[in-house]
Structure 1
Amino acid sequence: MKFKAVLFDLDGTLVNSLKDIADSINKVLQENNLPTHSYEVVNNFIGSGLRVLVTKALPESYRNEENIENYFQAMMSNYRENCTNKTYAYEGIPELLKELKSKNIKLAILSNKADELTKKIGETLFPNYFEIVMGLKSELTKKPNPIAAIEISQDLGFSPEEFLYVGDSGIDMQTAQNAKMHAVGVLWGYRPKEELLAEGAQSIISHPSELMALLN
C-alpha cells in the first residue's frame, strides 16, 4: 500500500460548518446594525481562516485593523459557544473513517480554523478516529504554508509522500503540493472542480467512498 496516512481538511471536507459560521458572523453584524449575508455568500468567504472571513464580511469602509480585530473577537466569542449547533459530518464520512481505521491508516486533521475550535469540532463529531487534530495556531503557519502538514507527517512517522491530503479548496491543493503530499480534491465542499484542478489536485473524488480506491 503506497499511502499509509490521510490528512484531512475540516470545513467543506469532513464537515459542513457553513450555517454555524454564517450564523455567528451575521449575529455580530446584526448587533452592530451592519448588513448581513446569505449562507451562499458566506460560503465564498470560507477557507482562509475566520479572521479573513470577518474581513470579507465587513463593509469595505469598516476594514481597518481595529475593526477587524474587534469584530473577529466578537464573532469568536459567539462561534466558540455555537460551533457544533448545526455543523454535521458529510454523508459517507463516518463510514469512510471507520473503514480507514480498520485498515490501520493513520488519520489527522489540519484546518485554518482556530486550533481550539478545530479540536472541539473534531473531537465532538469524530471521537477516537484521529491521531492528530490541528488548527491554526499562528497566522505565520496558515495554509498553504506546508509547515504544519510536514510537522504532522513527522509526528506520525511517515514521509509526506506516504500521505493523501484531502481538501475542498485551492488552498488545500496548494498546501498538499507544497508539502509534497498527494492532493485529493473533493467535490462535496465549498469550492468548484475547476478551482481544485487549477490549484494542483492530482485526484478528484465526488463521494467519500471513492477515497479507498486511491489507497491501493
Structure 2
Amino acid sequence: MNYKAVIFDLDGTLVNSLEDIADAMNTVLKNSHYPTHDYAAYNYFIGHGLLNLVSKAIPKQHNNATEVNRCFEELMTVYNENCVNKTKAYEGVNELLDTLKEKEIIVAILSNKADVLTKKVVQKLFPDYFKIVIGLTTEELKKPNPATAIQISTDLNIPVSQILYVGDSGVDMQTATNANMHAVGISWGFRPVTELQENGAKTIINTPLELLELL
C-alpha cells in the first residue's frame, strides 16, 4: 500500500511525558493532602485524557464531579507550567520524522491530551514537522471516537486507506480501526503489546525507524 500520511499519538508514542504528568498530578494530590502515586501507576492513568486521569488518581471516597473538576483545573495550571521539564522525544523519533519529511510523507498528531498542552509540547519539541496537531477539545471527541482522525484525512485530502495510525495504547488501536486506518502499535510506550494486539493492532514495531518498512 502506498501510504501518504501518518497520524501519531503523542504521549507514550513520540514523547515520554509520563514523569511531567505524574509530577503535576502528584503536586495536586499533595496540595489536597491526598496520597500520591508512583510513576508506574501513571502508565495506566494516562491515555484517556487528563480529566479521566484525575478521576483515577484521586481517592475513591472523594471521586465526585465537583472534586474531580476542581483537581482537573488545578492540574491544568500546574501541568501547563511544567509540561516540558522532563518530557523528551523517544530515541529514534527525530530521525524517523526527518526521514518522513525527506520522503514527503505528511505527518499529523492526534492526542487525548488537552489541545493547548498538546500544541505546547509539540511546538517545543517538534516545531517544524507536523502539518496538523490536534489535542482534546471536548470529551465527546475523545479517542477512540474516530471523528477527528477522519477529519484529518479529509483536511489532508488523503483517503483513510492511505494513512498509518501509530500509537501506544488500546485506545489508539481502536481509534485507527474505527477510522479504517492501518493500526500500528509501538512497543516502547506506556502500555503492553498484548493490549495493542487485543485492540486491533495490525502491525507492531519495536523502534521508530521500523515504521519505514511499511511505506
Structure 1 consecutive aligned stretches of length 4 or more whose deviation exceeds 2 Å? none
Find the residue that maps to 1:44 and give its secondary structure: helix
In the alignment, what sits opposite 2:41? 41
Could you tell me how far 1:207 is from its partner in structure 2? Answer: 0.3
Find the residue that maps to 2:45 and give its secondary structure: coil
In the alignment, what sits opposite 1:171? 171
- The size of the alignment, in residue pairs, is 215
Whole-angstrom distance in 1 between the partners of 2:202 and 2:44: 23
In the alignment, what sits opposite 1:64? 64
* 1:4 and 2:4 matched: yes
Gaps of 5+ in 1: none
In the alignment, what sits opposite 2:114? 114
Whole-angstrom distance in 2 between the partners of 1:141 and 1:36: 29
Amino acid at match of 2:155: D
Whole-angstrom distance in 1 between the partners of 2:14 and 2:5: 16
In the alignment, what sits opposite 1:16? 16
Find the residue that maps to 1:34 and give its secondary structure: coil
Whole-angstrom distance in 2 between the partners of 1:42 and 1:178: 26
Amino acid at match of 1:155: D
In the alignment, what sits opposite 1:154? 154
Could you tell me how far 1:209 is from its partner in structure 2? Answer: 0.7
Question: Bigger CA drift: 194-203 or 1-10?
Answer: 1-10
In the alignment, what sits opposite 1:75? 75
Find the residue that maps to 1:164 and give its secondary structure: strand
Whole-angstrom distance in 2 between the partners of 1:136 and 1:75: 15
Amino acid at match of 2:94: P
After superposition, residues 198-213 of structure 1 pair within 5 angstroms as 198-213=198-213
Gaps of 5+ in 2: none
Could you tell me how far 1:2 is from its partner in structure 2? Answer: 1.1
Could you tell me how far 1:41 is from its partner in structure 2? Answer: 0.7
Q: CA RMSD in A?
A: 0.6
Amino acid at match of 2:32: N
Amino acid at match of 1:121: V
Whole-angstrom distance in 2 between the partners of 1:178 and 1:103: 27
Whole-angstrom distance in 2 between the partners of 1:123 and 1:7: 17
Whole-angstrom distance in 2 between the partners of 1:127 and 1:71: 30
Amino acid at match of 1:107: V
TM-score, normalisation: structure 1: 0.99
Give a deviation string over 1:168-208, Cα, whole Å, max 9, x none.
Answer: 00000000000000000000000111000000000000000
In the alignment, what sits opposite 1:137? 137
Find the residue that maps to 1:108 and give its secondary structure: strand
